[in-house]
Amino acid sequence: MAPLDLSPADFRALSRKISDFTADYLERLPNLPAFPLNVSGEAVNALFSAEVPIAPMGERAFDPLADVFALSRPNSPRFFGYVFGSGLPIAALGDFAASVLNQNVTAWRSGPAAVTIERTVVGWLAEAIGCSGFSGSLTGGGSQANLMALCMAREAKAPANENGAQGGVIYCSDEAHMSMPKAAMMLGLGQKNVRRIPVNDRFQMDISHLRDAIMRDLREGNRPIAVVASAGTVATGSIDPLPEIADICSEHNLWMHVDGAYGALAAMTVPEKFVGLNRADSLSLDPHKWLYQPAGCGCLLYRDPAAAQRAFSHTEDYARSLSTDPIESFAFFESSMELSRPFRALKIWLSLRYFGLQAFQQRIAEDLRLARILADSVSAEPQLELLAPVELSAVCFRYVRKNADLDHLNLEILQRIIQRGKVCISNATIRGQFALRACVVNHRSTEEDVKAVVSEVLHAANEVSG
């Protein structure tokens, strides 16, 4: 039987090679295409969809790593697609160390250092965004954090854990993230019980429509549970009126969840945009977005730890804490949907210790400035039209040509841009119109990089016109 371990000497030698390979990649990154060129499904399948090897390949197993890296590019300084952080190398080293250690972050009983570090990091994040005193846990991402938040809301306002679901209604804006209806589906609340509230001209939830919808449900005998406010919608980065939503929630005894997966970390830099954030009952934020951490690392914060316990505590005897000490008896699985959990906190802890919080506040300020520069360049270009105000760092716009089908034209432009690989942007639907969308949550981007977005759009538009 072949041993599955590496000798320490082999591990040292191989990890040096991998570290050289990844450092070379980072060195070349600014000059690589922002998106792989000439890629087809068939070609990628041919590279990677092989049979499982039965016999050992040894170090040759690593040979295709060059292809894997060549066919990926989210770390590029010119990657502005979706909302996805640019991956700090220091955090990658944290992930590497965490994987070698392989600490399961279930409970203090199993991992005293890791559990304490995660609780510390969660406290740091809460304090940094003006929510001191909130506790919580790291998650796989924002979708998981949102699902857990709605589960807590359901258990707080229409308890189902004992006797099954009683139903209930959730309110969020038309611009809320798709993870909201998905969470309602998974919790058995049903998509049809998610009321999508129209937005105003700044893409914020319209409060009078929210009030009307709640009153209508109460009249009809439905059971309102929670309002989900967005602090940074995925398309335009708009922030819902948090204080007004908080007032409505207290008036009607509803749970207030803030989906800050995209935006909430910017509260470290521009707190004036996030007034009312600390009135939430729960709040999602994504270190793998605007803290530039490698995927997948989200975070759920909440005001009342007992509410998390009511939603998630279900401990079998074998996992029960043997201690009565308040610190040593702590278990994440009592307040999270996860049991086995990776040591996500290590990379954040190392990143914040290495660079200091201020460096992150400054880099977010720089991303906001770059988005402003991009928006100004769009506005200065007669053939381009800004489609939404730029609240945070997402810029939605389109190319305009007389008598053209603009949705179709801009789709073609986007496809050309991606094929050319000089910048990577994505798309959004803004009031039913196809928009080009660039989102700056990238610690590597410079002014030159964001300006390249405009020149690429103009270049692609010329190509499309033939």
Ligand X SMILES: Cc1ncc(COP(=O)(O)O)c(C=O)c1O
| Window of 53-61, 140-148, 219-227, 361-369 that interacts with ligand X by CB under 6 A | 140-148
Pick one of 98, 147, 170, 261: the residue that binds ligand X (CB under 6 A): 261
| Window of 54-62, 155-163, 232-240, 323-331 that interacts with ligand X by CB under 6 A | 232-240
Residue closer to ligand X by CB (options 141, 241) is 141
Least distance between ligand X and beta carbon 17 (Å): 32
234 counts as binding ligand X under rule CB under 6 A: yes
Least distance between ligand X and beta carbon 306 (Å): 25
179 counts as binding ligand X under rule CB under 6 A: yes
| Window of 2-10, 256-264, 318-326, 347-355 that interacts with ligand X by CB under 6 A | 256-264
- Cβ atoms of residues 337 and 328 within 8 Å: no
262 counts as binding ligand X under rule CB under 6 A: yes
| Window of 61-69, 227-235, 270-278, 388-396 that interacts with ligand X by CB under 6 A | 227-235
| Window of 86-94, 189-197, 257-265, 340-348 that interacts with ligand X by CB under 6 A | 257-265
141 counts as binding ligand X under rule CB under 6 A: yes
Least distance between ligand X and beta carbon 235 (Å): 9
Residue closer to ligand X by CB (options 238, 410) is 238
286 counts as binding ligand X under rule CB under 6 A: yes
Least distance between ligand X and beta carbon 234 (Å): 4
Q: How far apart are CA 277 and CA 265, in angstroms?
A: 11
Nearest to 392 by CA among 358, 441, 436: 441
Nearest to 110 by CA among 405, 323, 421: 323
Least distance between ligand X and beta carbon 288 (Å): 6
Pick one of 298, 332, 345, 368: the residue that binds ligand X (CB under 6 A): 298
Residue closer to ligand X by CB (options 270, 406) is 270
Residue closer to ligand X by CB (options 85, 168) is 85
| Window of 56-64, 73-81, 259-267, 411-419 that interacts with ligand X by CB under 6 A | 259-267
Q: Which residues contact 279 (CB under 8 A, 6 or more apart)?
A: 242, 243, 246, 256
Residue closer to ligand X by CB (options 103, 233) is 233
Least distance between ligand X and beta carbon 341 (Å): 16
259 counts as binding ligand X under rule CB under 6 A: yes
170 counts as binding ligand X under rule CB under 6 A: no
Q: Which of positions 46-85 make contact with ligand X (CB under 6 A)?
A: 83
Q: Which residues bind ligand X (CB under 6 A)?
A: 83, 141-143, 146, 177, 179, 230, 232-234, 259, 261-262, 286, 298
